[in-house]
Amino acid sequence: MKRYIVLLLVSMLWGQSFAQQKSRIDTGWEFLKQDLGGIWEAVRVAAKGSSESVPIWEEVTLPHCFNAQDAVDPDVNYYQGPGWYRTRLKVENPYSRGRILLHFEGAGQKTDVYVHTTKVGSHTGGYDEWTVDITDAVAAFKKTDIFGAQFKGMIPIAIRCDNSRDLEMIPSDLSDFNIYGGIYRYLNLVYVPELSLEKLFVKAEVDKSGKAGHVHVRGRFYDPGQIGKASVTLRLKDSRNKILQTLGVNTGNLSGDQLLAEFKMKSPALWSPDKPVLYTVEAVVHAETDYVHQEKIGFRHFEFLENGPFVLNGKRLLLRGTHRHEDHAGVAAAMSEGQIRQEMLMMKDMGVNFIRLGHYQQSRIVLDLCDSLGILVWEEIPWCRGGLGGDIYKDQARRMLTNMIEQHYNHPSVIIWGLGNENDWPGDFPEFDQDKIRAFMTELNDLSHTLDPSRKTAIRRCDFCRDIVDVYSPSIWAGWYRGVYTDYKKVSEEENRRVKHFLHVEWGGDSHARRHSENPDNALQKIERNQGADERLGDASLYGGASRVSKDGDWSESYICNLIDWHLKEQETMPWLSGTAYWPFKDFSTPVRPENPVPYMNQKGVVERDFTKKESFYVFQSYWTEKPMVHIYGHSWPVRWGEAGEEKMVKVFSNCERAEIFLNGKSYGIKSRNSADFPAAGLRWNLVFESGKNTLEVRAWKGKTIVRDTVHFDYETRSWGKAARLVLSKTASENGISTVEARLYDARGVQCLDSSQLVTFSLSGDGKLIDDRGTSVGSRKVQLYNGRAIIRIEERGGSSVAAVSTPGIETVFINL
C-alpha cells in the first residue's frame, strides 16, 4: 500500500506543476432547488429582506448534487428538475490576449451557462467533460456601468442544471441508478494564451515481445484568434521525469488534428497492475507565452485469446474486477477527490486489477488513479436500458462515445470501450425493434474503432447484438436472479463457447449489512436446478415469478459470502477464463428498488455506501491479495444462536498457508488452506459455544509472518416466539453524536434474532437524525438485521426524544 500512496503523491505534484493557470471554483456558490422565471432573477441585486431577494438561495460548495439526500429518502421520489447555481468571480487573466474558460468535469444532465444575463454555452449529457469560453462575455460586461457600481469588479456567473425526465436522453430513467442533477464534479476556471492545445492524443504502443515501443502524438489546437500556425516542442520523459527525447515541430495548419511527433523506444518499461510505470509526453506551445500541456502514458500490449484467457505483456492475467458508480453517502454523485482516492485505494487493497465503470464516463480523477494504481478499465457510455430513441437520442450517444474516447484516450489503464448495457430491455418507447438496435450498435462499434483502433469494444447483456462487438458479457447471476451458485462454472463454459471473446461482468447478489444467518443456503432448497443463470426481465422484482434467491433468500451477508467464495474458488480452476467483475464494489442508490431492506439502495456492494466494509470484502482479499491477512467471519454479528451443545461452523477467510483457532482461550487445532475445499478454503471449524459470552481468536501463518484476528459474541440457546415489543436504548455518545439501537423481543424477553421487520425511527426536539445516507445505520426506515437496527443522532447540544415503530407493535420512546 505504501507504494501506491507514493505513486499518488507523485501524480498530485505533477498535476500542480503544469496547471498553474487552472483553479477549482469550489467556494462562494449559492444554490436554488427549483427553476427561475428567467436569468434576471439570478443576477438582480436585491437588499436582504426585500421582495426581490426571494426565492431564498442556500450556500453550497462544489462539487454539489441536487440529490445528496433525497436519492435515498424512503418517503419521496427523488427530485428531477431544474436547479440553479450562482457566484461572482474575480477574473484576472495573466495572458494579455488570452482566453478565459470554464471547464466542467461533469454536470447533470442539461446545463446552461450565463455571464450576467448573456448565455455563453449549453451542454447535454451528465458525464463527459466540456468547456465554455467566456472571454467575450466577460469583456462586454466589464464595459457596463454595473460592473463596478453594483458588482464591485466581480463577474456574475449563473448556471442552470436540469435532470428532468426526458425520453430522448441517455441514460434511461428505467436504469437501475439515479440520473443525478447538479454540478457534481469539479468546475475549473482556466486561463490559456491566445493559442493553446485543446487536446493532445498520445498513442503508446509496444510490440508483443515488449522490445519495440512507439509513441504517436497528435494535437488539436484552440485558435479562436485564427493565428493559423504554431511552433511546438515535444518531450518524452520517463517515470522519474528524465527527458528521454525532444522534438521540435512547426505547423502552418491548425485545422483538425495535427500529427506532431513520433518517438521510438527500445524495450520501454511496461505498464501492468503490479508495476504501473508511467511516462510523460510534454508539449510546449510557443506563442504569446509558452503554454505547457502534459499527458501521462504507459506501454502495454494486451489481447483476448479466442475462447480463451486475457493476455497482458505476453502473460496470462486473470482479470479480477469489480464495478463503480459515482455515488456516496451524504453527497450522492458529488464525491470529493479525497473520497474517490479512498475508494480506489480500498479496491486495490481488496486485490482488484480490473474495473468496469458503470454505466457512464466517470471522473478524470478515477482514470488517473487507475493509471497510477494499476487497474485495467472497461469504460462505457450510458446507453442503458429503455430501447432506442430518435435522432436526438442517437446524436447524444454518438457525441458521448466520441467525447469519452477522446477525453480518456491517453490512459494506459483503458482496454475496452463499452457501447451499451442491457439494451434488450424495452420500456421507454412504443417500438422495440431489434434490427434497429443492431444497426445502431453496429454504427457505434464502427465509430469506436475509427476513433481508437487500439482498444476493444464490448457490451453487457444484449444477446441479439453479441456478434457485433469484440468482447461480450452475457447475464450470469448464478445463485441470485436465477439458479444456484453451483451452476456458475457450467453456465460460463456454455457462454464462452458462444462468442469469440467472453468476459463475465456483473455477478453476485444483495446483502443487508449486519444481517447474518445460521442457515444461509436455506433458500437454495426452493430453487429449480439446471435452469441456467440468466437474469431475466422481472427477476429483480420482489414479487411473483419463479423461485429465486433474490426474492426468496434472506439477503444475509452469510449467504453472499458463500456465493462469492464459490465463484472465486471456481475461477481458479477455469484456465480459459479471461476474467470477471463483481457487481459492484459499493452499495449505491437506485430509484427502482424502493422496497429493499435499505429503501432505494442496490445492496450488492462489498462495502456500504459510506465505505463500511461488509464481511464479503475479506473473502475477496483471501483469494486476490498477497499481503498476509486473516479475518474471522462475523465481526458485525453480536449474537449467534442454536441449541445448547450444538456444533456451529466458524469460518476464517485468509490468504495464509495455515491457521489455528481458539475458542475462549482453548485451541481447536491448525488447518491448512486449500482453495478447492469449500467453504472458506478449508479454514473452518465446527465448535460448541458456551451459552452467553464467547471469544474467538485466530492465528495464521504465511511464511514467517503471523497475523491475528478476534471476535466477541453472545450465544443464545433460548428459542423465541412471536414478536411482541420493541426496546430502544442509547448505546454510545461521542463528539456530539448519540447512537441508539432498537431491538425486537418476544413476550418472554427473548430477542427475535431472525426478524427482518421494517422499522421506522423518528425524532423530536433539538437533535437531528443522521439519515438519508443509504446505509444500514443511516436510514430512518430500515429492515432489522437479526432483530435489531441502529441509527445515529446529532445531539446539537439540546434535548430530544427518539422513537421507533413497526406495524402491530407499540411505539417506544427514549429521552436523549
Residues that are catalytic = 422
User: Three-class SS of residue 721?
Assistant: coil
Residues 6+ apart with CB under 8 A from 407: 128, 129, 199, 361, 364
Cis peptide leading into residue 426 (ω within 30°): no
Q: How many helices (H) and strands (E) does the chain have?
A: 12, 46
Q: Widest CA span of the chain, in angstroms?
A: 89
Nearest Cα neighbor of 774 from 754, 795, 791 is 791
The backbone torsions φ and ψ at residue 269, rounded to the nearest 5 degrees and listed phi first, read -65, 130
List, as one string, the DSSP characters of 556-605: -HHHHHHHHHHHHHHHTT-TT--EEEES-SB-EE-TT-TTSSSTTEE---
CB atoms within 10 A of CB 764: 11
Nearest Cα neighbor of 776 from 556, 568, 577 is 556
The residues facing 478 across adjacent strands are 482
Cis peptide leading into residue 63 (ω within 30°): yes
Amino acid at 469: V
Residues 6+ apart with CB under 8 A from 247: 233, 234, 235, 261, 263
Burial class (CB in 10 A: 0-12, 13-18, 19+), 308: middle
Residues 6+ apart with CB under 8 A from 65: 180, 181, 182, 184, 331, 332, 333, 334
